[in-house]
């Protein structure tokens, strides 16, 4: 008979008492991107110019080191400008009050108490000053590397959108309020942030709800996601979400057009707000450039971690993935003005779209109703017959004339045949 296994109850109790809080909770909003998603395009989720927050603070390249020096310059300039109203000690005391809340925002434990507060101070000062300089509330220095290099500025903007490169917006708001000049700071922090990112969301300030007094944003990426969602029409947001499985019945742009579906550009609306009615796909304009891939990938990665909510960007990317299979599909949408291709090659655009949602799934697909309408139209024999007639026999004036002549000849032949078949009666008087 085997000896029974000895269980050390005291050891189990000790381990339980040492257990930290769960990595994911209702206050957690700053995550590491899931490794399955990250491996699809490692560079898209990793900062290469500036590190914000703790996740990449120890991975400094030459550009990041230069930005660390710039953070010190920005902090010094802000402290000098606000010294009559607020001291360095005031800022540090304010950060200590929000420290516990800030730590809970990260999915991983953050060690080094003093270093964490110092990091929040310098990163927060940098972002606030950057937004003020961009909005011309504060004049940039002539040798500021961000403002005399469009490429450097674009890379900084890109890095500030990464979900792993965030600090809580409550920290930014705290520092902004303390440093605010009542004479020159006429815009709120939210307005400055949206103006800074308007290259990704056109007219972002106008799209942000002006009566929003209760929503607390988690970080800058969450703010942009909320702004995109808020600018959707109420009817779109009320549609019940479905499974993305409905996409399996959706054909690509080329096949849909061959069945009679038309594609038109929608103007003056959110790029997510796609409609289909009476055989017409209405899709807002999409600019595709060097930063499109990063923008979509990081918002999609963030949506994959969000508690609740609707996966609007994920749904959009999945829909476009099914609509676009090849460069020919891109060419059709480009010809309609729907896609603005700044990559130069339609194959690059199709590859970008087709790879966005690898290892991504959602149970909150927002275009289920639209897909059902498209499938019903596409499977209609009448619509296919009409389109075949239009495409094969009515594609040029000479073809139309030939078709009309053939129809007239056919009708004349039938009439002559019928006339010849009538018996001839002689009328006798």
pLDDT tens series, the chain, 429 aa: 455 566 778 788 777 766 554 455 567 889 999 999 999 999 999 999 999 999 998 877 888 899 999 999 999 999 999 999 999 999 999 999 999 999 999 998 887 666 899 999 999 999 999 999 999 999 999 899 999 888 899 999 999 999 999 999 999 999 999 999 888 889 999 999 999 998 888 788 888 887 766 678 999 999 999 888 888 877 776 777 787 788 888 899 999 998 889 999 998 888 889 999 989 999 999 999 988 999 999 999 999 887 666 789 999 999 999 999 999 999 999 999 999 999 989 999 999 999 999 988 888 888 989 999 998 888 875 555 555 555 555 555 656 566 576 677 777 777 777 767 666 544 444
Residue 365 and residue 285 share a domain? yes
Residue 151 and residue 264 share a domain? no
Residue 316 and residue 357 share a domain? yes
269 token code pair: 């609306």
CB 393 within 8 A of CB 399: yes
In the prediction, which pLDDT does 16 show? 75
Residue 188 and residue 275 share a domain? no
Q: Domain for residue 169, yes or no?
A: yes
Residue 193 and residue 111 share a domain? yes
Q: Domain for residue 257, yes or no?
A: yes
**Dihedral angle computed from the Cα positions of residues 401, 404, 405 and 408, in that order, rounded to the nearest 10 degrees:** -160
Residue 192 and residue 80 share a domain? yes
272 token code pair: 């997510």
**Dihedral angle computed from the Cα positions of residues 117, 123, 124 and 125, in that order, rounded to the nearest 10 degrees:** 110
Residue 197 and residue 102 share a domain? yes
Query: E strands of 166-274, at which residues?
Result: 262-266
Q: Domain for residue 20, yes or no?
A: no
How would DSSP label each residue in 5-57?
Answer: PP--HHHHHHHHHH----SS-TT--B-PPPHHHHTT-GGGGS-SS---SSTTT
- Cα separation of 429 and 427, whole Å? 6
For residue 378, give the nearest of 272, 265, 249, 268 by alpha carbon. 249
Q: Domain for residue 413, yes or no?
A: no
Residue 226 and residue 82 share a domain? yes
Residue 13: CB atoms within 10 Å: 10
* b (16+ CB within 10 A) / e for 182-205: eeebebebbebbbebbeebbeebb
In the prediction, which pLDDT does 1 show? 47
Q: Domain for residue 176, yes or no?
A: yes
Residue 279 and residue 224 share a domain? no
The phi and psi torsions of 413 (rounded to 5 degrees) equal -65, -45
CB 94 within 8 A of CB 107: no
- Long-range interactions of 210-217: CB distance < 8 A, separation 24+: 216/169, 216/170, 217/169, 217/190
The phi and psi torsions of 259 (rounded to 5 degrees) equal -95, 5
Residue 160 and residue 59 share a domain? yes
Q: Domain for residue 422, yes or no?
A: no
Which H helix or E strand runs over 194?
Answer: helix 189-196
- Cα separation of 110 and 99, whole Å? 11
The phi and psi torsions of 288 (rounded to 5 degrees) equal -115, 115
- Cα separation of 39 and 46, whole Å? 11
Q: 382, 400, 420: which is the final residue of a domain?
A: 382
Strands 262-266 and 275-277 come out as unpaired
For residue 74, give the nearest of 138, 118, 162, 135 by alpha carbon. 138
Question: How many distinct structural domains can be found in the chain?
Answer: 2
327 token code pair: 């460069």
Q: 367, 382, 397: which is the final residue of a domain?
A: 382
The phi and psi torsions of 180 (rounded to 5 degrees) equal -70, 135
* b (16+ CB within 10 A) / e for 268-293: ebbbbbbbbeebebbbbbbebeebbb
Q: Domain for residue 147, yes or no?
A: yes
- Cα separation of 27 and 421, whole Å? 89
238 token code pair: 């009320």
How would DSSP label each residue in 210-233?
Answer: TT--S----SHHHHHHHHHHHTS-
CB 207 within 8 A of CB 227: yes
Q: Domain for residue 29, yes or no?
A: no
| Domain of residue 270, residue span | 240-382
Residue 257 and residue 191 share a domain? no
Residues contacting residue 46 through CB under 8 Å, at least 6 positions apart: 56, 162, 164
Residue 196 and residue 260 share a domain? no
């Amino acid at each position: 008979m085997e000896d029974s296994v000895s269980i050390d109850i005291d050891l189990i109790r000790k381990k339980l008492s040492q257990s930290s809080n769960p990595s994911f909770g209702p206050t957690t909003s700053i995550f590491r991107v899931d490794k399955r998603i990250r491996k699809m395009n490692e560079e898209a989720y990793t900062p290469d110019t500036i590190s914000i927050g703790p996740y990449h603070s120890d991975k400094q390249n030459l550009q990041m080191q230069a930005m660390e020096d710039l953070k010190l310059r920005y902090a010094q300039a802000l402290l000098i400008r606000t010294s009559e109203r607020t001291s360095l000690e005031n800022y540090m005391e304010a950060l200590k009050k929000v420290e516990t809340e800030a730590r809970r925002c990260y999915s991983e434990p953050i060690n080094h108490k003093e270093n964490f507060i110092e990091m929040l101070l310098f990163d927060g000062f940098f972002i606030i000053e950057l937004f003020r300089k961009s909005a011309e509330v504060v004049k940039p220095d002539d040798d500021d590397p961000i403002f005399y290099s469009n490429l450097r500025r674009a890379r900084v903007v890109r890095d500030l959108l990464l979900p792993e490169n965030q600090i809580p917006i409550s920290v930014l708001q705290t520092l902004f309020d303390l440093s605010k000049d009542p004479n020159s700071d006429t815009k709120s922090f939210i307005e400055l942030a949206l103006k800074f990112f308007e290259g990704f969301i056109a007219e972002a300030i106008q799209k942000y709800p002006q009566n929003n007094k209760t929503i607390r944003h988690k970080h800058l990426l969450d703010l942009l996601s909320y702004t995109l969602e808020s600018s959707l029409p109420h009817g779109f947001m009320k549609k019940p979400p479905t499974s993305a499985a409905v996409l399996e019945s959706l054909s690509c742009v080329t096949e849909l057009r061959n069945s009679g579906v038309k594609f038109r550009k929608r103007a003056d609306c959110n790029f997510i707000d796609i409609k289909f009615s009476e055989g017409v796909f209405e899709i807002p304009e999409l600019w595709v450039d060097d930063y499109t891939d990063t923008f979509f990938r990081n918002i999609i990665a963030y949506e994959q971690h969000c508690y609740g909510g609707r996966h609007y960007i994920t749904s959009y990317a999945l829909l476009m993935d099914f609509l676009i299979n090849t460069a020919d599909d891109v060419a059709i949408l480009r010809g309609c003005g729907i896609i603005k291709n700044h990559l130069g090659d339609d194959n690059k655009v199709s590859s970008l779209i087709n790879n966005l949602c690898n290892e991504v799934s959602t149970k909150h697909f927002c275009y289920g109703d639209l897909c059902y309408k498209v499938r019903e139209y596409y499977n209609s024999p009448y619509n296919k017959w009409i389109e075949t007639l239009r495409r094969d026999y009515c594609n040029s004036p000479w073809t139309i004339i030939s078709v009309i002549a053939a129809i007239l000849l056919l009708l004349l032949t039938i009439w002559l045949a019928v006339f010849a078949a009538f018996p001839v009666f002689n009328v006798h008087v």
